[in-house]
Structure 1
Amino acid sequence: MPARPHAPALMAAAGLAAALVVAPLTAAAAAPTDRAAAPAAAPAAALADPDIDVAKVRAHLDRLSAIAAANGGNRATGRSGYQASVDYVKATLDAAGYTTQVQSFSTSSGTSYNVVATLAGTDPSRVVMAGAHLDSVSAGPGINDNGSGTAGVLETAVQYAASGQRPRNTLRFGFWGAEEQGLLGSKAYVASLSAAEKAKIALYLNIDMIGSPNPGYFVYDDNAAGNAVRDEITAWYTAKGIPSEYIDVQGRSDHAAFRAAGLPTAGIFSGAETLKTTAQAQKWGGTAGRAFDPCYHRSCDTLANLDTTSLDRGADLVGAIVTRYAAKDYGTTIPPTVGNLLQNAGFESGATVWTGTAGPITNSASRPARTGSWKLWLGGNGSAGTETVNQTVTVPSTATAAALTFWLRTDTAETGTTVYDTMRAQVVDGSTVTTLGTFSNVAPNATYTQKSFSLLPWKGRAVTIRFTATEDSSAQTSFVVDDTAVTVG
């Protein structure tokens, strides 16, 4: 086996955008293998809140309406109108300069698709998302539900790209399939992400109906993790002189899968089949005792079923929140992986948070990562030396279960049954070092296998998780670690 490429002399936080881990999607481009050659760009200054052109939002809706008219009057999952909608959205995002991918998944109506568009930020550890469902019900063209949300998000994406702004945080837009069949597209997307990729999502903003003809101005209030965004949305409405109301949408839209994963979510909504009250009509106008959208899930959900003022306000709010959070400085700390005490647990943010020997955390193509592009590659130098990589965690005193898990593959140029090279998983508690497991050049396994060790003896203590590899001066042995976790129960 070839020796591992030499690494830079200093361990640095990587400033590289990680590949999107969504099977069967493919990464836009391979990251450079020499991390020292890729200095991080300085974040650009935040833009002022944009004015999203409602005429251009309406133009997207005109196109979706024409697609429905040409395909049996709807854009439902499994129908030709949905495929044409996917093609239109993808082509629009491609033309705007996004890295655009289509994710397929199965439904009772056949294969459906999500469209996911990404604009890499200068901070690869954070992702800000906005999304809307792209499908309609089979009964009608779905212009308010949810052509309005789709068009608002799509035009925001187009206008942001045209501004020339490079976001501080990676910016991602999702257009979900099969929402009307049970939120299937957004569920498939979230399920396809590794724990490390989920942890990067700092915000998911959901836009489901913003052009109701008898509109209200509702703000999602069903996820405490998103309260800061919720409050910023209400402050935006207040600054515009627009009354708003909180609403718990009971998991009825595509933020639900993100919320279930423990991620911050927020959203806006202009109302559906519920009747507008007298008090709501007094503050918002419109007709009391009439549904916010009398054509909800009906054939009359056409271009005539829109309030242009509500559509304009909704699109402008999407543009404002996306622009602000794309530029938001979350600091240099990587958020902990959801359900995992380790930070940057899959190494997709390079060496950030981890300490120790420079170089073993790498995206070199010479050894594959289990997921994503980055991994911890210890050894593989074919020369005498020791390498260590560490991270400190605190095991809660209330834990009834606690474990260190990681995935390991080993290959070697050594022969025979003599141990020459080793890798140890260790816990460092003050001056005491405990070896949980030792792996060597003997009986290597070039397929990733998961290892697990109890950490209950250290509950209530701050300890350092350490991976240590020692090679002799003969042939190389490579120990490649990925997708680490410290989980507690």
Structure 2
Amino acid sequence: MRKRARRASMLAAAIAVAATGMFVAAPNASAGPSDVANPGFESGNASWHEKVTPFAGHPVNNSSAWPARTGTGKAELGGQGLTGMSRISQQVTVPASRVPVLSFWVRSDVVHSGASGFGFRQLIVEATAEDGTPYELHDRMNKGGTNGSYEQVTVTLPDAFYRSAPQKVNISFTVIEDAANRMPFLIDDVAMEYRFKRIDRPVTIPGGIFRPVGG
């Protein structure tokens, strides 16, 4: 009698699960190391495209005036004391059927510039899909600052970057500034991790598990 009652209970539970559409989630997992080239800028501006306007200069440097988080190389965006824009970018290939997750370390000190107070500086991090559509991943102003230390930012790219075929993606870090504040945004140790997508699958009941119980 107990066996019969236990099997009947299991069958009822299984039918209830199937009827309510309950799902079991596939686990998240890493799918290989980052393919960002020269992620810590230790090889200078190798693999990174630099653009500064209207002034000249190289955002990627190893100046000790603004130290790197690790090693000696880092990207120093802004801090020119002029109205303009500084940008670094790199193209990476997102593997098929993987979710790209970007991480980087940023430092943005804050100083008062006399009567002008906080200068305007804005960091914008974008990913541009293969079709040319840009997606803003992260932005911040210099007013908050990071108290003289680096902090890590991690962001999962939108669904537009999850495809059944590999996709070339451009990652960019841009700083727009005015002439009031010469403090730069510092970027170091950039990485792109690829994960398996979380997929919810319906629970299925294998045939032959539940058999009629004879009287």
Where on the TM-score scale, by shorter chain, does this alignment land: which range? 0.5 to 0.7
Offset at residue 428 of structure 1 (A): 1.5
Deviations 1:408-433 (A, max 9, x none): 01013346997711011111224322
User: 1:343 maps to what in 2?
Assistant: 37
Structure 2: give runs of 5+ residues left out of the alignment. Answer: 1-31, 52-56, 196-215
How does the TM-score come out when normalised to structure 2? 0.65
2:137 to 436, 442, 463: 436
User: Per-residue deviation at 1:393?
Assistant: 0.9
Q: Find the counterpart in structure 2 of residue 393 from structure 1.
A: 92
User: 1:114: which partner in 2?
Assistant: none
Which residue, out of 96, 102, 106, partners 1:408? 106
Is 1:420 the counterpart of 2:120? The answer is yes
Q: Percent identity?
A: 31
**For each residue in 1:385-442, what CA deviation from the matched residue of structure 2 results, as whole angstroms up to 9, or x when unmatched?**
101110011211221x420000001013346997711011111224322111112111
Tell me if structure 2 keeps the 8 A contact 1:414–1:477: no
The two structures have a TM-score, normalised by structure 1, of 0.29
Number of equivalent positions: 151
- In the alignment, does 2:183 pair up with 1:481? no
Shift of 1:450: 0.3
2:42 and 2:189 mapped to 1: Cα distance? Answer: 10
Correspondences of 1:197-208 after superposition (within 5 Å): none
CA contact (8 A) 2:105 2:152 kept: yes
Which of these residues, 151, 167, 175, is aligned with residue 469 of structure 1? 175
Q: Which has the higher contact order (CA 8 A, sep 6+)?
A: 2
Q: Is the 8 A contact 2:120 2:141 kept in 1?
A: yes
Residues 348 and 373 in structure 1, CA contact (< 8 A), matched pair in contact too: yes
1:459 equivalenced with 2:162 (yes/no) = yes
Instruction: Spell out the pairing of 1:131-142 with structure 2 (5 A cutoff).
Output: none
Residues 50, 89 of structure 2: 8 Å contact kept: yes
Residue type of the alignment partner of 2:64: A
Greater helix percent: which structure? 1
Runs of 4+ off more than 4 Å:
414-419
Equivalent residue number for residue 53 of structure 1: none
SS of 2:109's equivalent? strand
CA offset digits 1:230-277 (Å, max 9, x no partner)? xxxxxxxxxxxxxxxxxxxxxxxxxxxxxxxxxxxxxxxxxxxxxxxx
Q: Does 1:362 align with 2:61?
A: yes
Q: Contact 2:118–2:180 (CA<8 Å) still a contact in 1?
A: no
C-alpha distance in 1 between matches for 2:109 and 2:125: 17
Return the letter of the residue paired with 1:355.
H
Query: Partners of 1:420 and 1:395 in 2: how far apart?
Result: 34
In structure 2, how many angstroms separate the alpha carbons of the residues matched to 1:397 and 1:414? 47
How many angstroms apart in 2 are the aligned matches of 1:414 and 1:354? 32
C-alpha separation between the residues in 2 aligned to 1:470 and 1:424? 8
Conserved? CA contact 1:417–1:442, under 8 Å: no
Unaligned runs of 5+ in 1: 1-337
Take 1:487 and 1:417, find their aligned partners in 2: how far apart are those partners?
39
Deviation string, structure 1 residues 27-74 (Cα, Å, up to 9, x no partner): xxxxxxxxxxxxxxxxxxxxxxxxxxxxxxxxxxxxxxxxxxxxxxxx
What is the CA–CA distance in structure 2 between the aligned matches of 1:348 and 1:418, rounded to whole Å?
31
Which has a greater percent of strand? Answer: 2
Quick one: structure 1 residues 341 and 378, their matched pair in 2 at CA, closer, same or farther if it must change by over 3 Å?
A: same
SS in 2 for 1:412: coil
**1:119-141 CA deviation, whole Å, 9 max, x = no partner?**
xxxxxxxxxxxxxxxxxxxxxxx
The amino acid that maps onto 1:454 is T
Asked whether the 8 Å contact 2:102–2:155 carries over to 1, the reply is yes
